[in-house]
Amino acid sequence: MEITNTLNAEKDQQPQLSLAEVQATEATFRQPTAAEVSLLTFSKLRYARSRAQELSNEFARLLNRGSSLE
């Protein structure tokens, strides 16, 4: 019961947006252009490849260290 009351109290404290405010917020949002999506995708892919290479190098280093201990 206490959890429900706490959740309701938090919900009551959140400001309610009017319909005009919601519509104004939606009006300012725009879809990204194809070029923007392309740049973002390229940078994320480049980061993922770089990170994969770092992890691969780290794994190889650990394997080499382990084999030298034997």
pTM: 0.51
Contacts from 40-49 at CB under 8 Å and sequence distance 24+? Answer: none
pLDDT in tens, the chain (70 residues): 555 565 666 555 666 878 888 777 777 788 999 999 999 999 999 999 999 999 999 999 999 987 776 5
Residue ranges of the domains in the chain?
33-70
